[in-house]
Structure 1
Amino acid sequence: MTDTPSDPRASARGAGSGPASGRVANRVAGPDLASLIACPHCDAVYRAVQPAPRARAVCARCHTVLIAPHRQAGQRLIAVALAVVVLIGAATLTPFLRVEAGGMSNATSVLGAALAFSARPMLMALALAVAALIVFVPVLRALLILYVLTPIVLDRPPARHARRAFRLSEALRPWSMAEVFAIGCAVALVKISDLAQVEFGPAFWMFSALVILIVVQDTFMCRYSVWASLDR
């Protein structure tokens, strides 16, 4: 983190609006570290100011959104996390796809596809890594979000070790690849549709819905607001 001179160019932008609606973050270099926020991309440091409703605090240097609070965001994030757990749990137990070619057919689930290489000892680590990235890590992140946000939404003190749980959830975010798996499978199935008859199972549509939920989660997640609530 680098300190930068005072610069009031950071602005708030309403959702979908073009011009700046007001200043919500001023670049500072002061001793009050609790009131500062650093841009995660360019390390510019600002004095954190709560934006107006439907506004965002944007970095003046790289235009990264720093603070973007939403009304009832906690309730929506809890609902999304619960939906993620249910969808992934059901997708691992139901057929993902069925392929038929030359009079022969085969169907598999998501977990079965991830562990397809586990029969070979040399590929056991790869099979476990694939299963973790598309099943276990997304479920763990959703459970951690539920653990952190539920007391906050209920106006109760944060749960024990909530900061560590949220930090772990953020560390696992790049490794949660359930939506990447769904998009990759869709592209691959389009390419083999001319060679075999492909039927999508319930798990495929569950993972398709999961892609939308991940986008919704990233839209409503204001990490600064979560950290501020944990500090209080």
Structure 2
Amino acid sequence: MTDATKPAPRTDLIICPNCDAVFSLARPGHGEKAVCSRCETVLITPRRNAGLQIIALSLSIVILISTAAVFPFLSVDAIGIKNSVSILETALVFSDGPLAVLSLTTAALILFIPLLRVMLCLYVIVPLVRDRAPAPYSADAFRVAEALRPWSMAEVFAIGCAVALIKVSALVHVTFGPAFWLFSVLVMLVVVQENIICRWSVWNALSRPRRS
């Protein structure tokens, strides 16, 4: 099929990404949202100044990831022996042994993939907020960021740490380092960013650039 015979894309329909239900497109106003009537997945959530909010949150997340990775995460005191460790040191503790792949994968899931997703988001959103044409390969960048979303596991790491600390607190004295609090704020900002961003609005802006 040549380009001349390809059917034009339907801009009057929207498909639920969760259950594949098809609806006539009705754009909600700012502060409202369009929800799938079958599975209640949120389809469109336009917000005023959402782009600026996403940029601010993304920059904050970049700073928090960079600092939380190297600052001490916690200190352990057992029978007079003290030790402190950072998140990056913990993730790479077995990097020289047979568990190197597991260690590198852990570091990627809790640090590098979240950082990559935020950088890709900034690459896509900043030109749109500035009312410029999308950056080269913006659609591919946003598609990669969305594909990596299930593998960004900062929240899972935080929950796992909470469970582990509860179990070991009766055996040793645990002191939270600055990275623990930075990472706690990081997790909250990631959740807020995921709730603010309207993916339909991003794709719509990428498909209809305002000016070159």
Report the TM-score when normalising by structure 1: 0.84
Instruction: Pick from 184, 190, 196 the counterpart of residue 214 of structure 1.
Output: 190
Alpha-carbon RMSD: 1.2
Q: Which residue of 1 aligns with 2:55?
A: 78
SS of 2:202 mapped into structure 1: helix
Matched residues, number: 201
1:141–1:172 Cα contact (<8 Å) kept: yes
- Per-residue CA distance 1:134-186 (angstroms, 9 max, x = gap): 11101100000000000000111110000000000000011111121122112
1:144–1:165 Cα contact (<8 Å) kept: yes
C-alpha separation in 1, matches of 2:134 and 2:109: 28
Identity %: 55
Q: 2:63 matched to 1:92?
A: no
SS of 2:73 mapped into structure 1: strand
Instruction: Pick from 18, 23, 38 the counterpart of residue 61 of structure 1.
Output: 38
- Per-residue CA distance 1:71-122 (angstroms, 9 max, x = gap): 11111111111111100100112101100101111111000000111131x1
Where in structure 1 do 4 or more consecutive aligned residues deviate above 4 Å? Answer: none
Alignment of 1:4-43 (within 5 A): 33-43=10-20
Q: Which residue of 1 aligns with 2:170?
A: 194
C-alpha separation in 2, matches of 1:205 and 1:63: 34
- Per-residue CA distance 1:195-230 (angstroms, 9 max, x = gap): 100010011001100111011111101100000010
Q: Which residue of 2 aligns with 1:25?
A: none
Q: Greater RCO between the two (CA within 8 Å, min separation 6)? A: 2
C-alpha separation in 2, matches of 1:183 and 1:155: 39
Q: Which residue of 1 aligns with 2:87?
A: 110
Q: CA deviation at 1:32?
A: 5.6
Q: Which runs of 5+ in 2 are unaligned?
A: 1-7
C-alpha separation in 2, matches of 1:108 and 1:53: 45
Report the TM-score when normalising by structure 2: 0.92
Compare 141-150 and 55-64 and name the one that shifted more: 55-64
Q: Which runs of 5+ in 1 are unaligned?
A: 1-30
